[in-house]
Structure 1
Amino acid sequence: MGTVKWMTIFVLLGSCLQDSASQDLVASVFTATSKSVTVAWENQIAATTSCRVSAALLSDPDTIVAFSVFDPQVIMGTVNMLTPNTNYYLSIDVLDVAETVLGTETIGVITAPEVMAPISSVVSKDSTTFEVEFTLVTGATHYIVRIQNSEGFFREDEVPSSPAEIPSLTPYTEYSLSIMAVNRGGRAQPSLSVTAKTVLAPPVLTTSSASTDTIDVSWGAIDQAAKYIVSIHLDSLEDTTEQETTGTSVTISGLEAGQLYVINCWALDAEDVTGETSSEVTQVTIPPTPTVSVSSTVNGDGVTELTVSWTFDPEVWGEITGNVNNVDLSCTSTTGSCVLSPVGCGEQHSIQVIVSNAAGSGAPTDSEVFTSFPCQPGSLEHSEISDGNCQMTWEAVDYAAGYIANVLRSDSTLQECDTASPICSFTCECGYMYLMSVYAYNDAGESTPVKKNFTTLSCCPNDVEISTISTETLQATWTSTRGAVLYQTKATLDSDVIVCNDTAPECALSDLLCDTTYSVVVTPCNDISGCNTECQSHSVTTAPCTPTDVSLTEVDQSTYTVTWTGNNVEADYTASAVSDEGTVTCTSSSTTCDLSSLLCGTIYEVSVKASGDAGESLSSYSQTLETVPCCPETLSVNQATQSMSNVVWSEAKGGSSFVASLTSTNGDARCHTADNECLMGCITCGTSYTVELEVINHRGQKKDCTFEGFSSSACCPTYVRLYRTASVNTLYIYWRNSDSEHDHVAEILDTEYSCNAAAGTSGCDIPDIQCGATYHVVVSPLNAEGEKSLFCPERLYEVSCLDDNIGTVLYRGKRSVE
């Protein structure tokens, strides 16, 4: 039967037996070794005569490999002859006298590992610890090291593997050590023991440093120690120095000041076996005397302080505390510097520094004498020693190595003096503000500067331009000058002074006298240094005076003489006649001139202006000049009727009324009107007229204008009659002919009937007249161009019929031309 099957049956059977006889038979493993297992049981089954414990391999549960039989009163039994580190089934059977099984309990078990070989190596790691090494065995879950000595010490330490440490032992003591392998079944028998001895205990060190190059080391005596070795090296280096002694203290010399040393010590027994090394101890030597430097600074609150610094060469180890002592001040610091505060100017201080570290204090430094920065120079003054050259002076102060004097001009130009004496020369130009400052200095630093400012006089303008802007006003302009905030411009005439104050570089001087010479000066000023009264003056003459008493005298219709009063010492004059059409001028150096070529019909404003080197005067009051009106450019005469004509003319500039005249030997016609036309009657026919027009302005000035002559139309014939003639249907028109110079035409209006008559004749025939009709008959003279007069009247005739011919011709009246 296979192992898995037996395991299944064993589990099920054991479960059933426990359920049925759980109160009668209970078994458990008491202990297991490499080759045996001891089982304990409780049996409550009656009729028991013996108990049997048998073992079978887990891999072959049907084969019993070992068994033991015990009396009924026995409650614990052992099965021997087993294999180490092997899994077994153990059966505990209760038998009666017939060896019948009354009850069974089955238990699975594994035997302990095999007995191990002795420990292969035991080393005293320190005075209380062994380090052991051994050969591992198969199946062991861990190991037990047994330690004991002749004084009754016994201990078992569980260890996981090899190598392993055995701690908490007694120094310089001999021990016996064996080892056992352990698995889940139990532990094997101990191996053969080995003997080992712990080393001497470590010394407990105490160190100190009494000087910059020594360290004292001491410790308590170690039992069984024959001698001691002290090892020392710099913390930063591995080079070690050893010193041997049989005592319990040693002084190590030749060391470096202020350095950290690492110290160890160990004991040796009489056989020179080295004991456990002591714990490392560090000890610093007394610090050396530092190098001291002193400097002066000013803190954020404006307080002057002395910063005392100390340094070491080479550098020392660890925190160094410096104590700085002065007569009145002291400070302590661990940062390599500290501050003595407050410190005044111009003081001398004797400073000493003592440094210390964990070992103690070093020797004090030599006294360092420090002189503080100088005090502020006093009484700063300046003076101008020559034009453009100034000098500043001040009071000297103690402990000053020299002085730095600065002169800062307002345009940021800087002048500087580095001098040992309290005086400095510098250039000073006009129109600048100067900020003077001076401070003293020495090796400790600088004093607070003393400052003072001053402003030089503003610069004079050198490009003053003065111009005349009216007869009573001068305008002065110039380029702004350095340092000036206000300009005072004066025009002086004897004791009379005109003043103009302005911040701009220009000024108008008003209310001056015309044609007068003034002395003008521009003076620049500022609020600090006042006004510069050394500027150059300028002689300026104002413009000429205005002419007065202007009068006009007519020379002819286009020329006038202008006369005026000059009022100037010397001037030229210009008379101007200004109109909408333009300007007419004349010039003279006296008080009269002629304005000629004036336009007709024009209104002029005449004024006179004086001019000279200083400019022009204002114009005089003007006089109004109106010239005679102009003739119209065109005039025409149009005959309206036989006795009336219409005269029309173009606009006549300046004319406000007109008188039109038609003049002939037969009589005259005249018309006065404000219009540009006039209807004139009483015109004689066939007459030549002279045409004239008189143009009059609103002031009554007249202009006579003559135009081309006008001839009235020829006179119409009179006594016009219509007669029947001997010829069939022919009429004869007759008229009285007083005009022998013109041809005539006779017309029957609204028909095609007409006839012409030559000059000097008084009638003509009109044939083919239709009788039985009324006719309008007109006879008109013809001019040289063959044009008929339009002003002759019509006559109305009624023509009756007589058979096929014209009958009676009756006159019905006359109608004039419409």
Structure 2
Amino acid sequence: MTIYTVTSRSISARWSRYVGAHSYRFSATSNAAMGQPAFVIFNNRFVLGTVSSLLPATLYNVKVEVLDGDGNVLAEAQTQQLTAPDVPLNINAYSKTSSSITVNWSAIPKATGYVLKAKAGSSIIQTIVNDSSGTLTGLQPYTLYTISVQSSNAGGNSQPSPPVETRTVLAAPVIHSFSPNFKTIMVNLEPVSQAVKYSFIIIRSDAVGNKIKKTITSTNVTFTDLDPGTWYTIKAHALDANGIPGDDKIKEQVTIPCSPNDIKIQEIHSGNLTVSWSASPLSDYYTTFVKRDDGLEVMCNTSLRSCYFQSECGFIYFISVFSYNKVGQSPPGNVLNYTTAPCCPMQVKDLYVSSDTIEVKWNPARGAEMYETKAQDVSSAVFCNDTSTICTLSGLKCNTIYNITIYSYSDIRGFNYSCQKKSITTGPCSPSILTITKVNPSTINVLWQQNNRDAMYKVFAFGKAGVRSCNSSGNSCEIANLPCGATFSVSAVATTPGGKSLPSYSLPVETAPCCPNSFSVTQITQSMTNVSWTAAIGAQSYTTLLESYKGQAKCHTGETHCLLGCITCSTYYTVSLSAISETGLMSMCNYQGYSSSGCCPSAVKLYRLGSNALRVYWHATAGSVNYIVNVTSDNGNFTCSPMSGYTYCDISEIYCGDIYTVIVSPVSIDGSMVMFCPMKMYSVSCSMNSGAMVIYRGKRSLFHNKA
């Protein structure tokens, strides 16, 4: 058996089912109370029972007996149980705060404690107390609660007391307050639900002076004519429609002291600001706030009348000073601003440097509205003023060191003359070529005026034939391998660490014409020769010379060939050609020597030898020459070559009555026959005797030529 529930007047228990039971008797007997025990009989289907009409706060012997059909006890179980105290009466409940209700009731004998409950809707708040009064907390403001009380002891809790309804008071308002000036405090309350009025009280926190009270429907109130720099206590609460006050809210608020006057700002040394002011009555110390226009803030606390701050260029500083005493700060006086000098440009770069121009660029300088760029050498200065961060300085001296300084400017502070200079050297001066001398037909020497420090010079020769160059750190150099027959423009450029100069003025250079690639001499007649050659690059005219110990033959022509007369046969000639340019430059070209052909023989005669043979006879010229004889007619061609030193040659198998053409020619070195010796015509008569002279007919007429 186990006890299930206990009240002031009843005890309930559970037991286990017993096999064979007809019924169960559940009884409670008090040892202290007189009279019969209270019991209840249950059939065998019940295992839970309650005995009532008991006395409160009384110890009972509780027993369960198992009965058969005749009422005999088959088994039993028992325990002792104390009933709960009596139900509390005379319940009185009221609310003093918005989150609590206090409850009073008549004390219950033998009660060891009490359970207080507050119910609002589905929300139940309870607490346990030992006395006949208690407070429920954690409640909602201005909410109607149903209040009940239960007494309790070791046996359990009594039934709830008759319910009582009580409403919590209004919540305390949230107070917002500030002192806009040293004589005023403004108070603003956040509205409280169900409030119809608000009560405000203000008094000096040190209790000096009178208390000021106001009850109004508005949530805003202003208290004036207060003492500056003084702490005040503000108390406020809301009232409902019945005039019941809600929770009080208390806040301390101070009135501000007077502001400092005669604030001055000085920048005695660059990078340091001094802020000073006149004394403010009733102030214990001062705070100076300095806010930069980029948002950076610094402050200084002092009991003196000045503060010192580090400053940077190009900023606007907004400065305010507050006076403080033990109760708070004053309103700011006039907010002053101070603009420092604009910063000097940083990262100055030379974008372009030439012999007479320097272009510089820099990063924008903080606080600068304009820039002045100055280029200074030992004797002069050039200026450039612009709002841009780029400047071109022109008209400068070449190969000169300039100190470049960029000054920033603002309308308020003027120029910042503390900016650093940067040295930049202009590009080298253009060289001046003095002379160009030909070292040989393909090499020239160029001499120039050396007018730069630490310069390297490069000389260029430009032409259709290409570009040639030479380098030197001195004042001359040689350009070699110039092709013949070419025209060049020669100029020089100087290079220094400062850059490259403009090219010098160009001077023309012409090389002598080229010699013809091929040259040939062809003998036209015994005394006339044709000379021809290929055109030579750069040549306008040519002079050809064939020269021997016997004399010379010469011609001057603009063509690529010419005829030379007065050539002596069987003579060796030296051959040369002069190629001449338009300006008169000449190239001497020597070629392989030329030997003129052997002389044609004289006194050529024809004799009859027998019936079918002829002898050709001639007079040989000086020198050892081989000859060849050609005899032609309508019936045949005949050739004979006598041995060296012979001056005749025999032809056989001829026909009488024919006319024969006879040519006796010297043989050239290459074995060919000279083609320009004269032809003679002869008529061979059939009646002629052997040894008779053949009749010479010439070309048109017959005449006799004696042997």
TM range (shorter): 0.5 to 0.7
**What amino acid sits opposite 1:782 in the alignment?**
V
For 1:407, which of 291, 294, 316 is the aligned residue?
291
Give the match for residue 468 of structure 2.
Answer: 582
Are 1:658 and 1:673, in contact at CA under 8 Å, matched by a contact in 2? yes
Q: Secondary structure at the match of 1:640?
A: strand
> Which residues of 2 match residues 255-654 of structure 1 at below 5 A?
260=144, 285=167, 288=169, 290-296=171-177, 306-309=187-190, 319-325=194-200, 332=217, 338-340=219-221, 353-357=236-240, 359-362=242-245, 365=248, 370-371=253-254, 382-384=265-267, 386-391=269-274, 405=289, 407-408=291-292, 410=294, 414-417=296-299, 419=301, 425-432=308-315, 434=317, 454-460=338-344, 469=353, 472-474=356-358, 481-492=365-376, 496-503=380-387, 507-512=391-396, 520-537=404-421, 550=434, 578-580=461-463, 582-583=468-469, 603=487, 624=508, 626=510, 631-632=515-516, 634-652=518-536, 654=538
Give the match for residue 674 of structure 1.
Answer: 558
Q: What is the TM-score when the length of structure 1 is the normalising length?
A: 0.50
Are 1:283 and 1:359, in contact at CA under 8 Å, matched by a contact in 2? no
Gap change, CA 1:323 and 1:517, over 3 Å in 2: closer
Are 1:550 and 1:620, in contact at CA under 8 Å, matched by a contact in 2? no
Distance 2:379 2:646 in 1: 108
* Bigger radius of gyration: 1
**What amino acid sits opposite 1:759 in the alignment?**
S
Gap change, CA 1:763 and 1:388, over 3 Å in 2: same
Distance 1:771 1:373 in 2: 166
Are 1:743 and 1:758, in contact at CA under 8 Å, matched by a contact in 2? yes
Give the match for residue 194 of structure 1.
Answer: none
User: Deviation at 1:499?
Assistant: 0.9
Distance 1:586 1:706 in 2: 37
Deviations 1:377-428 (A, max 9, x none): 8887644364434355678799999868353464x6x343374768665432
Are 2:576 and 2:588, in contact at CA under 8 Å, matched by a contact in 1? yes
For 1:658, which of 530, 542, 545 is the aligned residue?
542
**What amino acid sits opposite 1:764 in the alignment?**
C
Are 2:320 and 2:332, in contact at CA under 8 Å, matched by a contact in 1? no
User: Deviation at 1:533?
Assistant: 0.7
Gap change, CA 1:319 and 1:544, over 3 Å in 2: closer
Are 1:330 and 1:340, in contact at CA under 8 Å, matched by a contact in 2? no
**What amino acid sits opposite 2:619 in the alignment?**
R
Distance 1:211 1:473 in 2: 94
Give the match for residue 39 of structure 2.
Answer: none
Distance 1:324 1:406 in 2: 42
Are 1:290 and 1:310, in contact at CA under 8 Å, matched by a contact in 2? no
**What amino acid sits opposite 2:629 in the alignment?**
A
User: Deviation at 1:710?
Assistant: 1.7
Gap change, CA 1:701 and 1:462, over 3 Å in 2: same
Are 1:577 and 1:585, in contact at CA under 8 Å, matched by a contact in 2? no
**What amino acid sits opposite 2:468 in the alignment?**
G
For 2:640, which of 725, 739, 755 is the aligned residue?
755
Are 1:296 and 1:445, in contact at CA under 8 Å, matched by a contact in 2? no
User: Deviation at 1:637?
Assistant: 2.2
**What amino acid sits opposite 2:672 in the alignment?**
E
**What amino acid sits opposite 1:675 in the alignment?**
E
Q: Secondary structure at the match of 2:189?
A: strand
Distance 2:215 2:683 in 1: 166
Give the match for residue 670 of structure 2.
Answer: 785
Gap change, CA 1:329 and 1:488, over 3 Å in 2: farther
Gap change, CA 1:690 and 1:473, over 3 Å in 2: same
- Say whether 1:746 aligns with 2:629: yes
Are 2:532 and 2:560, in contact at CA under 8 Å, matched by a contact in 1? yes
Gap change, CA 1:641 and 1:482, over 3 Å in 2: farther
Distance 1:573 1:358 in 2: 105
Q: Secondary structure at the match of 1:361?
A: coil
- Say whether 1:688 aligns with 2:563: no
Gap change, CA 1:461 and 1:239, over 3 Å in 2: closer
Question: Percent identity at matched positions?
Answer: 33
**What amino acid sits opposite 1:778 in the alignment?**
I
User: Deviation at 1:507?
Assistant: 3.9
Deviations 1:81-138 (A, max 9, x none): xxxxxxxxxxxxxxxxxxxxxxxxxxxxxxxxxxxxxxxxxxxxxxxxxxxxxxxxxx
Are 1:584 and 1:598, in contact at CA under 8 Å, matched by a contact in 2? no
User: Deviation at 1:689?
Assistant: 1.9
Q: Secondary structure at the match of 1:646?
A: strand
Distance 2:638 2:369 in 1: 111
Are 2:172 and 2:246, in contact at CA under 8 Å, matched by a contact in 1? no
Are 2:407 and 2:419, in contact at CA under 8 Å, matched by a contact in 1? yes
Distance 1:623 1:594 in 2: 15
User: Deviation at 1:798?
Assistant: 6.5
Q: Secondary structure at the match of 2:543?
A: strand
Q: What is the TM-score when the length of structure 2 is the normalising length?
A: 0.57
Give the match for residue 91 of structure 1.
Answer: none
Gap change, CA 1:573 and 1:351, over 3 Å in 2: closer
Distance 2:272 2:515 in 1: 85
Deviations 1:721-758 (A, max 9, x none): 5555326x544444433255222223356966422222
Are 1:376 and 1:397, in contact at CA under 8 Å, matched by a contact in 2? no
User: Deviation at 1:762?
Assistant: 2.6
**What amino acid sits opposite 1:746 in the alignment?**
V
Are 1:294 and 1:306, in contact at CA under 8 Å, matched by a contact in 2? yes
**What amino acid sits opposite 2:667 in the alignment?**
L
Q: How many residues align?
A: 538
**What amino acid sits opposite 1:659 in the alignment?**
T
Q: Secondary structure at the match of 2:594?
A: strand
Distance 2:164 2:655 in 1: 177
Distance 2:194 2:525 in 1: 148
Are 2:195 and 2:240, in contact at CA under 8 Å, matched by a contact in 1? yes
RMSD across aligned C-alpha pairs, in angstroms?
Answer: 6.0
Distance 1:403 1:672 in 2: 111
Are 1:329 and 1:341, in contact at CA under 8 Å, matched by a contact in 2? no
Deviations 1:588-613 (A, max 9, x none): 67xxx797979675656567888989
Tell me: higher relative CO, structure 1 or 2? Use CA pairs within 8 A at least 6 residues apart. 2
Gap change, CA 1:397 and 1:340, over 3 Å in 2: farther
User: Deviation at 1:450?
Assistant: 7.5
Gap change, CA 1:723 and 1:416, over 3 Å in 2: same
Deviations 1:290-329 (A, max 9, x none): 544412499xxxxx97432488xxxxxx844442447798
User: Deviation at 1:509?
Assistant: 3.3
Are 2:376 and 2:402, in contact at CA under 8 Å, matched by a contact in 1? yes
Distance 1:565 1:259 in 2: 111
Give the match for residue 4 of structure 1.
Answer: none
**What amino acid sits opposite 1:355 in the alignment?**
A
User: Deviation at 1:670?
Assistant: 1.9
